[in-house]
């Protein structure tokens, strides 16, 4: 039976990245210069109690299809997509992959898990 709640494996090439792995990618001198964080939550969530990852770019999921052209400047970079819990960001990662972005990661657990690990976020 098909499990509609399981996201891994549904679209080839979308890797799940845990908060600690993402944090290492962002602070690593050799990798950090090549990683971009796209936050697909709504503006009130981005500024809300969970905050957001420093230097992340806010593009709500509902606007992502309209903004894909603007993101083409990141096609040669690793993109880490984040949301509240990891579901919307997975959908966003699929959209980016379908538009030819090669290195797209979904932040597993989203900002909830990021905060649970005690990682810094901006308000």
Q: Which residues are catalytic?
A: 83
DSSP string, 2-58: --TT--TTSSTT-EEE-HHHHHHHHH-HHHHTTEEEEE-S-HHHHTSTT-B-TT-EE
What is the Cα 35 distance to its own chain's centre? 11
Q: Are 112 and 84 contacting, i.e. CB atoms less than 8 angstroms apart?
A: yes
DSSP string, 84-108: SSSHHHHHHHHHHHHTT-S-EEEET
């Amino acid at each position: 039976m098909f499990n509609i709640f399981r996201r891994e494996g549904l679209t080839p090439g979308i890797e799940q990245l845990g908060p600690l792995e993402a944090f290492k990618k962002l602070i690593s001198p050799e990798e950090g210069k090549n990683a971009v964080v796209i936050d697909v939550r709504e503006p009130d969530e981005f500024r809300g109690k969970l905050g957001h990852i420093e230097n992340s770019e806010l593009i709500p999921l509902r606007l992502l299809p309209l903004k894909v052209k603007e993101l083409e400047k990141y096609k040669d970079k690793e993109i880490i997509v984040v949301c509240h819990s990891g579901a919307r960001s997975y959908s966003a990662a699929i959209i980016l992959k379908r538009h030819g972005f090669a290195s797209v990661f979904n932040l597993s657990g989203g900002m909830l898990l990021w905060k649970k690990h005690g990682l810094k976020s901006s308000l």
